[in-house]
Structure 1
Amino acid sequence: MKFHASTISRVSQFRNKAPFSFHSSSKLSSNHKKRCNFGIAFDIDGVILRGRVPVGGSPQALRRLYLDSGELIVPYLFLTNGGGIPETKRAKELSELLGVNIMASQVVQGHSPFRNLLKKFENELIIATGKGDPALVMSEYGFKKVLSLEEFASYFESIDPVSQYKRWTTMPQSDRKEPAMPRYNVLSERIKAAFVVSDPVDWGRDIQVLCDVLRSGGLPGGANNNQPPLYFAADDLEYQAAFPSKRLGIGAFRIALESVFNRINPKRLECVTYGKPNPFVFKNAEVILSQLQSSSRQDHSKNNRVPGSHPFEMLYMIGDNPSVDVKGAQQGILGFLF
């Protein structure tokens, strides 16, 4: 397969502008309807959307990838390190914001590779943290015994020593929810793995509780040097949201957790990170794009490819972060464009 890369000296010049365009004044020709020899991976934050607002002409550009009937003719997907909600829900949200029909299979989030760990932890007690609904994300992947870190912490009295000073825990007594009965043997069963699904909301609590879990072998309050596995959905230090300057991302949280853990524990923190620029993410994107191409309209009789050969002449990664999108595309299998 041919690879393509272009060099951009100033990324900032593309802010608030559509970072991609199709120069044809009409939709793709009938020849392209039968066979498309390229695929596209779009980043979302700062490229397609800023917050919930489409960037430039992104909705119009995406509509050029469909027939008037709504059938997809150019295989594309969204490749983002963001997340916190199931791919089905994110696809519905993107469809509404962008005005095109987006399938769940076209949404690859930072935590999507966690599906590959199902066989190992399907029936084990695990915890998940991050904005959105991290426990629901893991449950939809098939994990049977998953708790959000917030729910897990609620079963351990005083595990967060400053919780009483937090606004969302000092609401009137009449508005508070009664603590739920533990769904599992939380006070006696060890956590077998911890997952940071998206950007944590309460860094102080999460660092404290994760240190407790990881230093104790999975059961806070105990003593055990066997650290449970820790997985991060991504490692972005910053990302572009609605605010003019970039915001601290999940990678910043990892640095904070690692710094604290390594100061209070004799053994250094061990963790596994996913998301861009991990080459695995881009290879997985190639597989999904190939599946999307196979399901779209093609004239196989005119396709002279050797069975098993690569279905694309070019794959494009369109993003705004050189250290994530460009680096990942260069060391992975994708070309990239801004």
Structure 2
Amino acid sequence: MKFGPLGTVLRWKNRAPLPSLRLFSLLHSRSSFGIAFDIDGVILRGRVPIGGSPQALRRLCRDSGALKFPFLFLTNGGGIPESRRASELSELLGVNILPSQVVQGHSPFKNLLKRFENELIIALGKGEPALVMSEYGFKKVLSLDEYASYFKNIDPVSQYKNWTTEKIFNSKANTKDLVPRYDVLSDRVKAAFVVSDPVDWGRDIQVLCDVLRSGGLPGQENGPQPPLYFAADDLEYQAAFPSERLGMGAFRIALESIFNRIHHNALEYTSFGKPNPFVFKNAEAILRRLQPSCHDGYFMDNGNTGSNSFETLYMIGDNPLVDIRGAQKAGHPWFSILTRTGVFKGKENHAEFPADLVVDTVEEAVDYILKKESSF
């Protein structure tokens, strides 16, 4: 081999790496796996961390707080904006959580903005459902609390619900009469969104039946049913109480049963949330955007999602019918891990929807993943 002048060698040494070599280096510095955590029953019970979740999550982050491995929270819960949920999780867990790492049951509602952006819609559930929809960009949205308040006697037992009446009137301080923000007494509701678990089932079922069978204007004759969307369809979930609580799926069953008894057409609706495979495909896309480089913890996204596919995506959940079933329906590259800290408490694997792995806690799940992916 012949060498050129010394200056030539020095100039070669100082040249940047060839693009193909640089690309090879960047692609191989990415994590080959990502993790989706359920929250209730896996990370938290109520507002209390469980299963060693703070320690487990810290192992996925750098000392600077930046992501070492891509992970997000995939929950059917909601009722508040993703930004606020991220702040709450950061405070409770002592780990910096970005809004982009929080995927709630109602997050897919963003995809319906183009269709209903300027239409009158109602949003119901605990928390601040109207605020959630407004932050997604919907221009004419009312909570069912506010919407119902404009229709006198729509709830025949409202006089026995002083707590509800006080909340509505306090939100309209210094006004003697309820003045609608929109022309709700003549403008038809174009869609109803169940954003989170409803609080007042009786009132909400009554008002929804009025809206849906009248074509969007309570008190009118029957009309075409406006679209109805549920953020999730969980029958039960694990909260602070020792036994499971009824979820949005239970509310949907109650509403559907009553509506089908009083209306000639069956209730039509669309449910999002786990175990819908769409939710897992969406989570995979978000994890790709979160996928960090091992170089200084910077995020890189060249827009080519095909070049940074994962070898394995882990779904860690406590509900076989939702978390495990969803990962199974999504297929490769999802790998399901079932914890015993929430809905599932069995000694053996679940019979109908067996997980790829069963562990006691989320900390054990993360320990398993990091040992398996030890090359990172």
TM range (shorter): 0.7 to 0.9
C-alpha root-mean-square deviation of aligned residues, in Å? Answer: 2.5
Which residue does 2:17 correspond to in 1? Answer: none
Shift of the 60–224 alpha-carbon distance from structure 1 to 2, 3 Å rule, reads same
* Aligned counterparts of 1:297 and 1:207: Cα–Cα separation in 2: 53
Which residue does 1:44 correspond to in 2? Answer: 39
Where 2:291 maps in the other structure, the secondary structure is: helix
Unaligned runs of 5+ in 2: 1-25, 299-303, 339-376
* Aligned counterparts of 1:170 and 1:72: Cα–Cα separation in 2: 46
Tell me the TM-score normalised to structure 1 length. 0.85
What does residue range 177-256 of structure 1 map to in structure 2 within 5 Å? 177=173, 178=175, 179-256=177-254
Asked whether the equivalents of residues 122 and 143 of structure 2 are also in contact (C-alpha less than 8 Å), the reply is yes
Asked whether the equivalents of residues 48 and 58 of structure 1 are also in contact (C-alpha less than 8 Å), the reply is yes
Where 2:192 maps in the other structure, the secondary structure is: strand
* Aligned counterparts of 1:175 and 1:46: Cα–Cα separation in 2: 35
Where 1:184 maps in the other structure, the secondary structure is: coil
* Aligned counterparts of 2:293 and 2:98: Cα–Cα separation in 1: 12
Whether 1:93 aligns to 2:88 is yes
* Aligned counterparts of 2:123 and 2:131: Cα–Cα separation in 1: 9
Which residue does 1:82 correspond to in 2? Answer: 77
Shift of 1:260: 0.5
Percent identity between the two aligned chains: 74
Asked whether the equivalents of residues 72 and 296 of structure 1 are also in contact (C-alpha less than 8 Å), the reply is no
Shift of 1:167: 3.3
Asked whether the equivalents of residues 71 and 296 of structure 1 are also in contact (C-alpha less than 8 Å), the reply is no
Shift of the 308–159 alpha-carbon distance from structure 1 to 2, 3 Å rule, reads same
Whether 1:137 aligns to 2:163 is no
Tell me the TM-score normalised to structure 2 length. 0.76
* Aligned counterparts of 1:258 and 1:298: Cα–Cα separation in 2: 53
Shift of 1:308: 2.3
Shift of the 169–42 alpha-carbon distance from structure 1 to 2, 3 Å rule, reads closer
- Deviation larger for 37-46 or 327-336: 327-336
Ranked by relative contact order (alpha carbons within 8 Å, sequence separation 6 or more), the top structure is 1
2:310 alignment partner, one of 309, 312, 319:
312
Q: Which has the larger radius of gyration?
A: 2
* Aligned counterparts of 1:170 and 1:86: Cα–Cα separation in 2: 25
Which residue does 2:154 correspond to in 1? Answer: 159
* Aligned residue-pair number: 303
Where 1:335 maps in the other structure, the secondary structure is: strand
Shift of 1:69: 1.2
Which residue does 2:335 correspond to in 1? Answer: 335
Where 2:63 maps in the other structure, the secondary structure is: coil
Asked whether the equivalents of residues 34 and 299 of structure 1 are also in contact (C-alpha less than 8 Å), the reply is no
Unaligned runs of 5+ in 1: 1-30, 301-305
* Aligned counterparts of 2:227 and 2:336: Cα–Cα separation in 1: 33
